[in-house]
Structures are given as C-alpha cells and as structure tokens.
Amino acid sequence: MSFNSVVFLFCFMPLALGLYYLVPGRAKNAVLLLESILFYCWTGITWLPLIAVLIIVNYIAGLLMQNASKASVRRAVLLLAVVISAASMVFFKYTNFLIDTINQISGAGLSSLTFLDVLPLGISYYSFKLISYVADVYTRQVEAERNPITFATYVILYPQLIVGPIVRYRDMAPALHKVKGRCTIRQAEAGAVMFVFGLAKKVILADSIAALWQDIISTSEGIGLANASTPLVWLGILAYSLQLYFDFAGFSEMSNGLSLMMGFECPANFNLPYISASITEFWRRWHITLSQFFRDYIYIPLGGNRRGPGRQILNMLVVWALTGLWHGANWNFICWGLYYFVLLVIEKNFLLKYLKKGRIWPHIYTLFFVVLGWGIFTANAAGAPLGLLLNRLFVPQGGISALYYLRNYGVLLVVCCLCSTPLPSWIWDKTKKVLPLRLLIFAAVAILCTAYVVAATGSTALYADF
C-alpha cells in the first residue's frame, strides 16, 4: 500500500463505516456516494468530471432503453452507451501505446500525450460495470435504475474502485434498495473477518514474498536477472506468481469484506486457482468476475460455441486478445492473452479429456504453464525483459545459486504455498465452535497486519497497475 492508502485505511475507513452505520436507511446511499467521491478525489479531482459524465450517460441510456418500445431505438441507445464507455477506456489506456507502436513501425516521431501518464482511477473496472449494466437493461435482465444517487453509488462504490471485483448491478441492486436492515451483525462479523484475512494476504504474504523477485531482477539493489542461475530464476518467478495471487486475491477479499460490512454480498473473485488441474479450471478460479464478464458480454454475444468449431476458435481469439489488452497497454500483455488462447484451444480440442483422467500430473502441468505465463505477464517490468527471462529459464546456466535464497525465504515460500490451498479455510472452519480461539486468531492476525501496514508505506497494490 502507498502512504495514502495507509492514511485511508486507518483514518478514512473507520470514520466512513461509522457514519454509514449511524445514518438512517434512506440516507445510506447518499452518504456512501459522498464517501466514494471523497475517496476517488483523495489524490486529486482531475478525472472526477470523466466518471461523472460516464455515470450520467449510462444512467440516461438505461432509462431510455427501459422506456423505448422500438427494438431499433433500444439497440441504438445500447450501442451508443457501450461505445462511449469503451472509447473512454481505450483513449486513456491505449492512446500512448498506439503512438509508441506507430513510432516504432514508421519512425514518425509522434509525441505522446503526457497528461495520460497517470490513468483515471479505476477506469478499467467502472467501465466494465457500466457496460454490464446497460447490456443487462437491454436484455431485460434488470430494470433501469431510476434513482441517480443509487446508480452513481453502484458505479463509484469505493471498496471496488481500485482493483474491483467487477460486480454487476443485478448483484447489488437488492441491497442498494434495502432501506431497513441492510447491515446485519452477521454480515459485519463475516465482513470484518474477510477484510482482515484479505489484508493479511496482501501485507504479510504478498509484500514479503515480493522481496525475493525484486532481489533477483533489480540491478541497483539486487543481483540482476543476468547474474542469476536457472534454478534461482525459476524460484524467483514462482515467488512472483505467489505475490501476484496474494496481492490480487487479498485486495479482492478486502473489497468484498468491506462491502459485506456495508450489507452488500458480492461474488468471490478467486477460488484457490493454484490447485487447478487444467488451464480451463484455472480460469474458472482466477479473476472470476473478469472471466464472467468476457464470457457473458463478449464470447456469448459473438456466438460462443454455437456456430461451429472454427467460429468458436475465432471467438476465443477475440476474447483472449482483449483479456490480455485489458490488463495493460503493452505487447507482453497481448502475448500473455494469446498464450492462454493457444493453451485453451489445445485443451478443448485434445488435452482436456486426458487431464480429467489424471491425478497428479494435471496439477503439475497447470502450475508449470501458469507460472510460465506470469513470466510473460511481468515481462514489461524493469529488469525482466522477456528474452532474457526465457533464456535464463530454459537454457541451463550457472550464476548465483538458489540455495542462499532458499535459506532466507524457504519458510515463507512454504507458508505461501500452504496458504494457496484449502488448508487455512479448513483450519478456520474447525474453530467454528471454539469462539475464544477464533477471537484469538482474528486478533493476532489483525495486530500483525497493523504492524506490517505501518511498516510498508512504500508498497502498492500490484494489480492496480492493470
């Protein structure tokens, strides 16, 4: 977490929750909207007009589609709303990438737009929330929201603003319209536990194991990737895989926990993806809300698997190219998306039936290709160019040994691996009937997290960059 995030965690969040609990039911959405706007503007108000305009456009689009009797009018409104939301995200995220690509191909020497160096906060997430909303209104899966405050609250809800998850309006609408009894003691307790355990994943596990990868790829404070032996590079990319998982899963649980404390039961974004026995299963467990968005709003509207094998492969190509591109404006992300496209095509057409029959080797196969995929994913990071990384991974060569790092990080690696399995949930469930033990575990984790947060003012949310 950055220093601003620490200030928010220890100052803003308790005050925000306290005020939210104290106000009457009819005022809760208005208070939550004001708190979300304050959080959005925490580091500046530059992009506040952008999200305000997008909220207004999609709010009006929903009402127009709800009331229009002609299908052609409803389709035109949907298309316009989706184009505006998607175009804003494309412009802010990819304009400089396009300029750089043109310069590299043609040597045109076009100047990048410096005001786009800092992206609007959360644009990748709230753009998809808006698109899913107007699409669901168009297909009559939900009724258009008539209260502008309620709609704006859904879009800009601060727990989901930075790193999601991408929660659909239909999942939040019942609670948004609940005036009495929105927040229960049971929800507050479960939300607090989810939030603290998510925080532990982020600040204790992710931030700690991140030091191993940084020690390997950093040329200023570490050894540099070119000096690492092949076993050490594999150890490092494994550490990065664990860091990315605990960072993103931790923030997703913090978001859902905080939302639950407010009375919103949101879908889980992760389900132990590293225990998967196929790449297909992995993507049912990793970033679940993003996978569902692309399935429901891109893959199925394109025809899914209903128009023959050739069209299915084309649809998958589109989805996975967009999945890679969504994560960032860089060719390594596009390559990463296409990498998974190839793996999934192979599985669906040949390998999956054999994977279902195996026991151990499908898990090894999945972990190998997932970890290798994270190497492609991080290839734009300073000190880890893809060519050098692949060379050190697959051309056996000497260098600084992995033994020193195993001595320093071995226990942490084992803890991280165990925490990516069902074991922690199993232990927590076993303590269900022993309330004093549960309270002791919760208090110990909360205190430990507090100590780590105070000491980790230079850390950031890794997935917020994507």
User: Before 362, cis peptide (omega within 30)?
Assistant: no
Q: What are phi and psi of 400, to 5 degrees?
A: -65, 130
Residues in the chain: 466
- How far is the C-alpha of 230 from the C-alpha of 237, rounded, in Å? 11
- How far is the C-alpha of 167 from the C-alpha of 190, rounded, in Å? 19
- How far is the C-alpha of 211 from the C-alpha of 408, rounded, in Å? 11
Per the residue annotation, which of 177, 287, 327, 363 is the catalytic one? 327
327 has catalytic annotation: yes
In what helix (H) or strand (E) does residue 217 lie, and over which residues does it extend? helix 207-217
* CA separation, residue 213 to residues 251, 368, 383, 405 (Å): 20, 17, 10, 10
Nearest to 388 by CA among 409, 342, 399: 399
Nearest to 203 by CA among 247, 241, 157, 155: 247
Q: Which amino acid is at 209?
A: I
Tell me which DSSP letter residue 228 carries.
B
Residue in this structure with the two tokens 């020690």, named with its chain if needed: 215
Residues in CB range of 193: below 8 A, 6 or more apart: 257, 442
Residue in this structure with the two tokens 């310069």, named with its chain if needed: 103
Q: Do 241 and 208 touch, CB atoms closer than 8 A? A: no
Please give the full DSSP string across 303-319, using - where no structure is assigned.
Answer: TTTTT-HHHHHHHHHHH
* CA separation, residue 123 to residues 86, 91, 323, 378, 384 (Å): 10, 11, 15, 21, 27
Beta carbons within 10 angstroms of residue 67's beta carbon: 10
In what helix (H) or strand (E) does residue 190 lie, and over which residues does it extend? helix 185-200
3-state secondary structure of 400: strand
Please, what is the Cα angle at 321 between 315 and 325, to 5 degrees? 145
- How far is the C-alpha of 125 from the C-alpha of 163, rounded, in Å? 7
Q: Do 132 and 94 touch, CB atoms closer than 8 A? A: no
Q: What are phi and psi of 205, to 5 degrees?
A: -90, -55
- How far is the C-alpha of 279 from the C-alpha of 282, rounded, in Å? 5
Annotated catalytic residues are 327
